Structure 1
Amino acid sequence: MPAGLRRGLYAVLALSWASGIVYFVLSRWLQVDGEFGPEKHPWQFPLLKIHGAAAFLMLMAIGAMLVNHVPATWRTRRSRGLGLSLVAGVALMVISAWCLYYAADEYWRPILGNIHAAIGFALPLILAIHILRGRRSARAKHRAHRAERASEP
C-alpha cells in the first residue's frame, strides 16, 4: 500500500477511534451539573461531529483499500482471516452507525451503541495484529527469495 495512503488511513483511524472512545465514555459515565440537575457533558456533541466527519474519511480510505490493497494481497493468501475480520468489522460499523443515526428507537439505541463501541474498540487491535503478521510474512518471503537467489550458480 502506498505510504501516503497508509499514513492517511492510520491518522483517520486514530481520530475516529479516539473521538468515538471519548464520546462513549462521556455519554455513559460523565455528566455535568446543570441549572436543572445532571446533564450531558458539553463535549459530547462536538465529539460526535468529529467522529462523524472521521467516519466519512474512513469510508473513503476503506474504499481505496478495497480496490487496491485487498485484491492485491488476496492473491498472496496471507492473513486472509484477519483481513476478512477487518472488512466485516468495518461493514458492521457502517451498518450500526447508520442504524444509530437513522433507525434506532430508544430501546435499540443503547444496544447498538454498545455493539458499535465494542467493534470500534476492537478494530485497531485487529488491524495491528494484521499489520504485524503481514510484515513478518513479507520479511520471511523476502529472506527466502534472497536465499534462493544466493544459492543459484
Structure 2
Amino acid sequence: MTRAANPRTPAFRRGRRRRLALYVVSALLLGSALPTLALRAAHADPAQWLGWTAWSMKLHGAAAFAALFLLGTLWPTHMRAAWLRRHNRLAGGMFAAATAVTVATGYGLYYFNGETLRSVSDGLHWGSGLAAAWLFVVHRRAGRREGRRGSGL
C-alpha cells in the first residue's frame, strides 16, 4: 500500500526497498569490518590474513560509498521530517553523530599522513562504527515503540 493510499502512514517512514538496501549495505559494512577487527584483537600474524584484509577493506570502502548515498537519501524523506515532528530525536541524533564521526575518521584513514593521526583515526573509526551499529538498533526499536504509542515526543 502506498502512502497516497494510506494517509495515516508517516511521511518519514522508509519504503520497503530502501529499508532493504539499508540493511544489505549495513550488513556488508559490518561483515567486511568485523573479521578484520577480530583478527587484529586476537593479535593474529598479519602475514596470514593481510591479503584477505585488502579485499575486505575494498568491499568495506565500496559499501561505505553506498551507505553515504543511502544516508543522503534519508535526509529529506526521513531525518528532517521526523526531526521537525520531534520523533525519536535522542536515538536518531546519537546515531547520526556516531555515523558522522565514523565517516570523518574513515576519510582520515584514507587521507591522513603520520602514524599518530592515523592511529587515533583508526581507534575512533572502530569505536564510532561499532557504536553506530548499536545505536541504529536502539533507534529502530525506539521508533517502533514510539509508533505503537502514537507519541510525538
Normalising TM by the smaller chain, what interval? 0.7 to 0.9
Of the two, which has the highest radius of gyration?
1
Distance 1:42 1:30 in 2: 13
Residue equivalent to 2:22 = 9
Distance 1:104 1:82 in 2: 34
Cα displacement (A) at 1:25: 2.7
Residue equivalent to 2:45 = 31
Code of the aligned partner of 2:78: H
Percent identical among aligned pairs is 29
Match of 2:133 among 100, 103, 124: 124
> Is 1:136 matched up with 2:145?
yes
Using the size of structure 2 for normalisation, the TM-score is: 0.82
Provide structure 1 residue ranges, at least 5 long, that are not aligned to the other structure: 33-37, 143-153
Task: Report the CA distance shift for 1:85/1:104 in structure 2 as closer, same or farther (over 3 A).
Answer: farther
Distance 1:79 1:24 in 2: 31
Indicate conservation of the 8 Å contact 1:27/1:41, yes or no. no
Distance 1:124 1:99 in 2: 20
Relative to total residues, which structure has the larger strand share, 1 or 2? 1
- Give a deviation string over 1:19-59, Cα, whole Å, max 9, x none: 11222233452225xxxxx5653211000101000000000
Provide structure 2 residue ranges, at least 5 long, that are not aligned to the other structure: 1-13
Using the size of structure 1 for normalisation, the TM-score is: 0.82
Residue equivalent to 1:110 = 119
- Give a deviation string over 1:44-102, Cα, whole Å, max 9, x none: 10001010000000000100111210112112212101111111111111110111111
Indicate conservation of the 8 Å contact 1:26/1:41, yes or no. no
Alignment: residue pair count: 137
Match of 1:83 among 92, 103, 109: 92
User: RMSD across aligned C-alpha pairs, in angstroms?
Assistant: 1.8
